């Protein structure tokens, strides 16, 4: 039995013709195990040939002693043909095995003009320019969405919106009751942390008792709503974007529109309403959980008596703080649900677009939460509440 | 009285995504009771045209009239009412995945009729039985096969007894037998319920079995090459259409 020869090639020149003679076994498994005869070496040798014989008008590729080939050799030949054509050198590959000739013919064939890909990677400035020119359209889309949502809420208030009550209850449960465990955990821990950290400073003055008011005021006014908002952004906002995004991919939203059912009324409105109702309720619960966390630290670790702790809490806690906290929560509810639904509804029609929509929804809701907290805080500081 | 008015009239319709024109200057009419095929090679804009006809995307130019009502020239409320006279079977079914098959069919009925919940249940069961899905009422879309999803999508399209039914690539992803059965079903819908059917497809077998009229979209020239009965177009249509309908064999002898 004849053993396959190792891949090899030779270049020679004859009367303004460059001859490339390829021999041996050029299948990938063999090529990989030999030093000489890699596809790159073959291409480079041909290029050196072009450079040293500048009067060459023609290159012929022969392979009379070829034992085996696959697409690796084909790719190398194609590259040589391209390089030759770029130098106005004619190529003859008719002496190759018949299968190779046919495949090279297919690869070399020029596609019809309007089917050629003309897209090139944009340059740096083009990229910046295209991002900038896209801005007005993005703002317009966003305003359109907010306008549609407002119209939809208007229809709901007049009792004309076509949302299904079953969906609404499901969403109440999903973003309300189902979020209770995680809100409990995070807010008790936040109360603990606040109490511990502040006790380090307050101990210096022997004023541990003020931990109670510090924890309760900061929880109800800002920390409760902000932490609830961030938990809901990661939990519910992401799920809104992912659900609506996959509905877009699956043409389910088109199917709704096709029946004349407005996706705004049917999909977005219940989610926005659900979050607008549930975020404040969860925040109330989060406030209590946070105060309980502080209570545990105060009573069990710092030896404050339970009644003194509660007295101090109630002495400094004003009802208005709770209302401010709930206002935060209401705003967060709108921000989270609108970011999630907007990204989901405008999602592209492929799997990676859903991932992008989800990420953008969470990031923009968290940024929105922080920014709106600052704005509300500044406003209430100015009007001195 | 309205029987002489075509079901759908497209005049000078241009389909575009932003600045990229897919098809321009399309003119055709779909008569009542037609099985109208939108055909053409891959990527020629068949499905995009379907979205425009269905009222999902606005054409860049031209008008589409249902009877004598202009789809894009009327108020959104009227457009909605036109869209309710049509049903669509999407390519992959596009069932609402959070609802069972029966609930999928029932949703449009709940929305637009005053029937009792029991009647709606009965109707949903009937429509599912019509497409051969009796007994699958309480299955979720993720629990059934691709072919069944398509049929369930058809049952949902038929929920409101539409005058016009659109099919987006009905035979894509189906085996030849199921595909032939679906063709039979399309003909039955037209014959027994008097529906007008518009089908986007490039399956020649299916085209010659069901078509009574068609429009051919050319991907090269980006406009329609011909409109008419494909059985006649194969004999005296333009070259591009004949080549398509004969599987590119027209120059090498007799078609099959």
Phi, psi of A371 (to 5 degrees): -65, -45
Which of 149-168 (B) contact A at CB < 8 A?
Answer: 153, 156, 160
In 3D space, the residue among A215, A220, A376 whose CA is nearest the CA of residue A286 turns out to be A220
Q: Of B111, B112, B167, B200, which to mutate for an interface test with A (greatest number of A Cβ within 10 Å)?
A: B111
Which pLDDT band, with edges at 50, 70 and 90, does B253 fall under? very low
B58: CB partners within 8 A, 6+ apart: B52, B72
| CB atoms inside a 10 Å sphere around CB A378 | 10
Structure tokens at B6: 């075509």
CA distances from B90 to A250, A353, B144, B155 (A): 9, 21, 16, 11
CA distance, residue A22 to nearest chain B CA (Å): 38
B221 reaches A (C-beta below 8 A): no
Among the partner residues B51, B79, B108, nearest to A259 by beta-carbon distance: B108
Among the partner residues B79, B81, B90, nearest to A254 by beta-carbon distance: B90
Residues of A with CB under 8 A from a CB of B: 112, 114, 162, 164, 246-247, 250-252, 254-261
The residues of chain A that CATH labels 3.30.750.24 are 8-108
Q: What is the mean pLDDT of chain B?
A: 87
Among the partner residues A162, A255, A261, nearest to B88 by beta-carbon distance: A255
Q: Do A255 and B156 touch (CB under 8 A)?
A: yes
Which pLDDT band, with edges at 50, 70 and 90, does B2 fall under? very low
Q: Please state, in angstroms and rounded to a whole number, the distance separating the CA atoms of residues B252 and B231.
A: 20
Q: Please state, in angstroms and rounded to a whole number, the distance separating the CA atoms of residues B197 and A370.
A: 54
Q: Please state, in angstroms and rounded to a whole number, the distance separating the CA atoms of residues A48 and A250.
A: 54
Q: If DSSP codes are grouped into helix, strand and coil, which group holds residue A367?
A: helix
Domain at B33-50+86-252, CATH homologous superfamily:
P-loop containing nucleotide triphosphate hydrolases (3.40.50.300)
CA distance, residue A377 to nearest chain B CA (Å): 41
Structure tokens at A364: 């923009």
Q: Do A255 and B80 touch (CB under 8 A)?
A: no
B66 reaches A (C-beta below 8 A): no
Q: Please state, in angstroms and rounded to a whole number, the distance separating the CA atoms of residues A179 and A293.
A: 18
CA distance, residue A136 to nearest chain B CA (Å): 15
Tens of pLDDT, residue by residue over B66-110, are: 988 898 888 888 888 888 889 999 988 899 998 999 999 999 998
pLDDT reported for residue A116 = 52
Instruction: Give the start-end residues of each E strand in chain A.
Output: 8-14, 17-25, 58-68, 90-92
CA distance, residue B190 to nearest chain A CA (Å): 21
Among the partner residues B56, B80, B86, nearest to A254 by beta-carbon distance: B56
Which pLDDT band, with edges at 50, 70 and 90, does B249 fall under? low
Q: Do A250 and B92 touch (CB under 8 A)?
A: yes
Q: Of A258, A261, A266, which to mutate for an interface test with B (greatest number of B Cβ within 10 Å)?
A: A258
pLDDT reported for residue A130 = 86
B90 reaches A (C-beta below 8 A): yes
- CA angle centred on A127, ends A122 and A128, rounded to 5°: 160
Prediction ipTM score: 0.83
Tens of pLDDT, residue by residue over B173-207, are: 788 888 888 899 889 888 988 899 999 998 888 89
pLDDT reported for residue A63 = 85
* Residue spans of chain A under pLDDT 50: 1-2
Q: Please state, in angstroms and rounded to a whole number, the distance separating the CA atoms of residues A42 and A382.
A: 77
CA distance, residue A275 to nearest chain B CA (Å): 20
Contacts of A258 in chain B (CB under 8 A): 54-56, 83, 86-88
**Domain range list for chain B:** 33-50+86-252
Q: Do A114 and B91 touch (CB under 8 A)?
A: no
User: The whole model's pTM is what?
Assistant: 0.78
Contacts of B78 in chain A (CB under 8 A): none
pLDDT reported for residue A223 = 93
Contacts by residues B172-177 (CB-CB < 8 Å, ≥ 24 positions apart): B172/B91, B173/B92, B173/B146, B173/B147, B174/B146, B174/B147, B174/B150, B175/B147, B176/B205
CATH assignment, A8-108: 3.30.750.24
């Amino acid at each position: 039995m004849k053993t396959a020869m190792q891949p090899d090639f030779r270049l020679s020149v004859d009367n303004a013709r460059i001859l490339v003679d390829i021999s041996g076994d050029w299948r990938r498994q063999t090529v990989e195990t030999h030093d000489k005869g890699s596809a790159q070496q073959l291409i480079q040798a041909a290029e050196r040939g072009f450079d040293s014989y500048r009067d060459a008008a023609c290159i012929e590729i022969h392979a009379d002693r070829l034992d085996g080939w696959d697409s690796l050799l084909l790719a190398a030949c194609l590259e040589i043909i391209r390089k030759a054509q770029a130098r106005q050198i004619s190529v003859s590959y008719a002496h190759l095995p018949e299968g190779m000739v046919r495949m090279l013919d297919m690869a070399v064939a020029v596609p019809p003009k309007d089917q050629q890909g003309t897209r090139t990677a944009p340059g740096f400035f083009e990229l910046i320019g295209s991002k900038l020119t896209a801005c007005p359209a993005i703002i317009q889309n966003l305003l359109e969405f907010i306008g549609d949502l407002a119209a939809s809420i208007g229809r709901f208030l007049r009792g004309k919106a076509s949302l299904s009550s079953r969906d609404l209850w499901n969403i109440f449960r999903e973003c309300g009751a189902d979020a209770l465990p995680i809100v409990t955990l995070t807010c008790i821990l936040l109360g603990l942390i606040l109490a511990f950290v502040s006790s380090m400073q307050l101990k210096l003055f022997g004023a541990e008792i003020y931990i109670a008011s510090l924890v309760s005021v900061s929880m109800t006014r800002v920390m409760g709503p902000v932490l609830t908002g961030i938990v809901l952004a990661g939990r519910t906002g992401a799920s809104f974007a992912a659900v609506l995004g996959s509905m877009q991919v699956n043409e389910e939203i088109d199917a709704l529109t096709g029946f004349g059912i407005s996706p705004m009324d049917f999909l977005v409105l219940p989610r926005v309403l659900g979050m607008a109702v549930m975020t404040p309720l969860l925040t109330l619960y989060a406030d209590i959980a946070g105060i309980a966390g502080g209570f545990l630290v105060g009573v069990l670790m710092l030896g404050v008596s339970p009644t003194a702790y509660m007295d101090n809490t109630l002495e400094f806690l004003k009802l208005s703080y709770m209302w401010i906290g709930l206002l935060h929560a209401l705003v967060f509810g709108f921000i989270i649900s609108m970011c999630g639904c907007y990204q989901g509804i405008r999602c592209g029609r492929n799997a990676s677009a859903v991932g992008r929509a989800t990420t953008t929804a969470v990031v923009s809701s968290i940024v929105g939460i922080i920014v709106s907290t600052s704005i509300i805080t500044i406003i209430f500081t100015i009007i001195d509440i | 009285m309205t029987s002489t008015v075509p079901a759908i009239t497209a005049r000078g319709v241009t389909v575009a995504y932003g600045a990229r024109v897919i098809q321009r200057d399309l003119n055709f009419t779909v008569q009542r009771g037609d099985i109208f095929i939108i055909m053409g090679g891959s990527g020629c804009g068949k499905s995009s045209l379907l979205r425009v006809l269905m009222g999902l995307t606005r054409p860049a130019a031209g008008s589409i009239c249902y009877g004598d009502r202009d789809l894009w020239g009327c108020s959104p409320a009227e457009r909605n009412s036109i869209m309710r006279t049509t049903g669509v079977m999407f390519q992959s079914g596009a069932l609402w995945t959070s609802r069972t098959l029966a609930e999928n069919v029932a949703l449009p009925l709940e929305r637009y009729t005053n029937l009792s919940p029991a009647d709606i249940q009965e109707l949903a069961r009937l429509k599912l039985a019509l497409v051969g899905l009796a007994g699958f009422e309480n299955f979720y879309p993720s629990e059934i096969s691709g072919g069944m999803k398509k049929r369930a999508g058809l049952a949902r399209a038929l929920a409101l007894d539409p005058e016009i039914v659109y099919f987006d690539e009905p035979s894509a992803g189906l085996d030849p037998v199921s595909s032939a059965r679906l063709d039979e079903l399309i003909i039955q819908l037209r014959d027994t319920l008097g529906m007008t059917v518009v089908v986007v497809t490039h399956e020649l077998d299916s085209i010659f079995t069901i078509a009574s009229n068609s429009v051919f979209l050319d991907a090269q020239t980006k406009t329609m090459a011909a409109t008419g009965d494909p059985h006649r177009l194969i004999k005296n249509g333009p070259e591009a259409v004949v080549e398509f309908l004969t599987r590119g064999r027209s120059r090498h002898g007799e078609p099959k």
